[in-house]
A and B are shown apart, each in its own frame.
Chain A
Amino acid sequence: MTRLKRNLFALLQPIIAVIIGLLAGAIAIVLLGDSVIDTYAEMWNGAFGSFYFLTNTLTRATPIILTGLGVALAFRAGFFNMGSTGQMVLGGLAAAITALYLPGPGWMVLVVSLVVGMAIGGLWSLFAGYMDAKFGINLLISTLLLNYIASLFAGYMVAFPLKDQSGSAAMAQTPMIDKSIWLPKLFSGMSLHAGFILAIVAAIALYIFIQKSVSGYEIRMLGNNPFFAAYGGVKRGRMMVVAMLTSGALAGLAGAGEVLGTQHRYLDGALASADYGWSGIMATLLASSNPLGTAVAGILLAALQTGAMGVERNTNVPLEVASVIQAVLTLFVSARFGYAFLKRRKEKK
């Protein structure tokens, strides 16, 4: 019973956060001199209005959920992995290269590409973890810097060695991946692809891993109280390897899924400029690093973004209203961390 209550309470806070975010958005809309109700109605329609829009939203949610899950695991262990963008970019690039050049039957190449994408994303993330564990280089900073390096490297790869020479393409992108290697669509004519199922499975698996397994317990312990964890014999370095590798692998999977499911090629800047990585971090913060909550928050953020596109199509309110709502949401959430802390202190007294 108390457990149910606790879960409900955990759900209540994000709902309050959403209401506050929408209020902030409403203020912005009023300042622009538009109707709040009309705008939000358009936003709802743009996100969930029809089956087509719903699948669009879920497609957008897929990479957000996957990167969010990766970050959630790292946060749980107390590691601020800010590098999901870079891990995602490299994962997507690696998957594209594998899909383009590996011979074999389509389904096998598809699986191998996904695995390679995960491996490269994981190794890139592990590199930052290794530098922290071995040389004491602040993980937060190194992962941020690695984002820029990864994006620029991928940009170079598709601008020169891998550039699509066919067609009139002046774009920096790889050639189109063969149709047999695409992630299958879930509904014909809709953008939603099998990556969404992978994301949901990953969310459930990660939830079980964190809540039920020994390593999951050690990771939570490390995040909640590093000193107690050290006393209990948890090796920070080993945990960091596990957490960062998995975290990066999930981000890499997000990139690979985007490349194989949606774009069918690696297009320079397409992964980084859509801000999937940062939205994933936001989803994690919203859900206080709970994997299932991260999935819900990921869908919510995606709905805000696709809904805002509907708003832009049909009203005078710009698309950017979504970024205001998102930002206020996360700010509220970070304040909530504070309230939780205050409460704990009062209980101690």
Chain B
Amino acid sequence: MDQLFDVSLFNSMLRIVTPILLAALGGAICARVGLFNVGLEGLVLVGAFSAILGNHLLGNVWLAILFAIVCVMLFSLIFAYISINLRANVIVVGISMNFLAAGLTTFCLRAIFDVKGAYYDKNMMGLPKWDIPVIKDIPVLGGIVSGHSPLVYLAFFAAILMQIYLFKTVSGFRLRAAGENPVAAQSLGIPVRRIQYGAVLMSGVLCGLAGAQLSLGQVTMFTEGMTAGRGFIALVATMLGQSNPIGVVASSLLFGFMDAFSIRLQGFALPAQFTQMLPYIVTLVAMFFFKDRSYLKDAQRANGSSR
């Protein structure tokens, strides 16, 4: 069995889980203010593309990440405006955001880089790998935890930060109030709309980071539709985690593990199609055990019916 489970499996799990976790945190904060963000997939895709574009234009990885964050924030503003100001059905808006992201990125890929399908530049610098001083010398733990891109650490840090913010600060309390009962919150003078905008923008930042990790973290390239459903898996992670940052970490880790595991299984003469299916099947099965109890139901109710 030690061929199946070893240090590098868990190492790659942490790497794979990062985009899912970041996007899921973005989904969680949106769910907390009563917006069910189906557009995560599109936001991450825009993030992945703009990170590569930023790297191409600015020639610096850090500026590229910043560029990705700004682009995705602008993009998420469209979502915020249509669903908050125009009060359109968030699910329909989210679906169209995914269309828009897919269309824009394929178009820009063609228009800017003049390539079809995928853009790859071997001179482009990816994200550096950080070795953590003391931990990297600890035998097993070092191999798992050390040597990742900074965004991996940032993702887990962001989860802890969000947990503290949501449950220990006044402003986090107001944010949850705005989601739980917008009318009551409004009557207490809480600026519900401003908070919702803030949450959507925050999810934009997180999805921008998720996209950057995707396109700059392991391989420095962009392929059309490279998110491949990760945004949707993140959505499930949000639901399974009950929009609770720590819960979201746990459920994201489950999916990251299944993903890494499925790649590992490909070495075992199993048809690739079945191993690739595994994360989706596990996601589906996981939904049997953890239902979305409160938050998304509330979120949907706050937006009228489920339609």
Docked CA distance A334–B88 (Å) = 6
Does B271 touch A at the CB level, under 8 Å?
yes
Does A99 touch B at the CB level, under 8 Å?
no
Docked CA distance A226–B296 (Å) = 17
Asked whether, in the complex, the Cβ of A152 is within 8 Å of the Cβ of B273, the reply is: yes
Beyond the given pairs A82-B95, A323-B107, A341-B87, 4 more chain A to chain B contacts, judged by CB atoms under 8 angstroms and listed by A's residue number, are: A145-B229, A327-B103, A331-B100, A338-B88
Q: B residues within 8 Å of A by Cβ?
A: 38, 78, 82-83, 85-89, 91-93, 95-97, 99-104, 106-107, 109-111, 229, 232, 235-236, 239, 271, 273-274, 276-277, 280-281, 283-284, 287-288, 291-292, 296, 304-307
Q: A residues within 8 Å of B by Cβ?
A: 28, 31-32, 75, 78, 80, 82, 131, 135-138, 140-142, 144-146, 148-149, 152-153, 155-156, 159-160, 223-226, 278, 281-282, 285, 318-321, 323-324, 326-328, 330-331, 333-339, 341-342
Docked CA distance A1–B92 (Å) = 32
Closest chain B residue to A321, Cβ basis: B107
**Contacts known (A141-B287, A324-B107); A78 close to B96, Cβ less than 8 A:** no
Closest chain B residue to A312, Cβ basis: B110
Mostly helix, strand, loop or mixed at chain A's interface?
helix
Docked CA distance A330–B101 (Å) = 12
A35 to chain B, nearest CB (A): 16
B265 to chain A, nearest CB (A): 14
How many pairs, one residue from A and one from B, have CB atoms within 8 Å of each other in the complex?
145
Asked whether, in the complex, the Cβ of A330 is within 8 Å of the Cβ of B99, the reply is: yes
Asked whether, in the complex, the Cβ of A323 is within 8 Å of the Cβ of B288, the reply is: no
B97 to chain A, nearest CB (A): 7
Asked whether, in the complex, the Cβ of B111 is within 8 Å of the Cβ of A149, the reply is: no
Q: Name 30 A/B residue pairs within 8 A (Cβ), A-sorted.
A: A28-B107, A78-B307, A80-B306, A138-B239, A138-B287, A141-B235, A142-B284, A142-B287, A146-B284, A149-B281, A153-B277, A159-B273, A224-B307, A320-B106, A323-B99, A323-B106, A327-B100, A328-B100, A330-B96, A330-B100, A333-B92, A333-B96, A334-B92, A335-B82, A335-B93, A336-B88, A337-B88, A338-B82, A338-B89, A342-B86
Cβ contacts under 8 Å, A78 to chain B: 305-307
Asked whether, in the complex, the Cβ of A327 is within 8 Å of the Cβ of B96, the reply is: yes
Closest chain B residue to A340, Cβ basis: B88
Query: Contact check: which of A223, A318, A341 meets B110 at CB < 8 Å?
Result: A318
Interface centre among A156, A338, A339 (most CB of B within 10 A): A338
Cβ contacts under 8 Å, B235 to chain A: 141
Asked whether, in the complex, the Cβ of A226 is within 8 Å of the Cβ of B107, the reply is: no
